[in-house]
Amino acid sequence: MNQSYDFIGVVTEIKDPESIVTANNTDFVKQELWLTDQGKYPQEIKFIFAQKAIEKLNHVTVGDKVVVGFRLNGRTYQKDGSTYNFTELNGFNCTVLEKGHKPDTHDSLPIEDEMAGYPPIKEPVKNETKTPEDIDSLPF
């Protein structure tokens, strides 16, 4: 079963199409689309569009808010006696929801907002010179 999913995010990067010659000498073209979500802790997500699906990216630009239709694909393979696994998010559709949407990134927050929820920063204690009486006197 090859279930499909949707992801909404803001385009942060669109790589140039990359042509690869496969083991059976056929051309395979793929293109990466990078999105960031708008959650509390933004995530950078890479989607791979291949072959004819690349055409779905012709109208997309960096900064657009989009919804990407994708499928999860994963494989296990052996190399040099070790087993490797990988998972790809293969895009098949990309629809623009808003043109030129600017992502709300953590870097753009004012320092007051970044520090929200943390205790206030205390001023450093001044290095005071103590007299011999201060050193010799015991509090009890």
Asked if residue 116 is part of any domain, the answer here is no
- Whether this prediction's pTM lies above 0.85 is answered by no
Full 3-state SS string of 74-104: EEEEEECCEEEEEEEEEEEEEEEEECCCCCC
Residue numbers of the domain that contains 75: 4-104
Give me the CATH number covering residue 83: 2.40.50.140
Task: Please report the pLDDT score of residue 39 as a whole number.
Answer: 83
Q: Name the nearest CA neighbour of 57 among 94, 26, 25.
A: 94
- pLDDT per residue as tens digits for the range 48-63: 999 999 999 999 999 9
**What is the total count of domains within the chain?**
1
Going by pLDDT thresholds of 50, 70 and 90, the confidence category of residue 20 is confident
pLDDT mean over 14-30? 89
- pLDDT per residue as tens digits for the range 100-140: 855 454 444 444 554 555 556 555 556 566 666 655 655 55
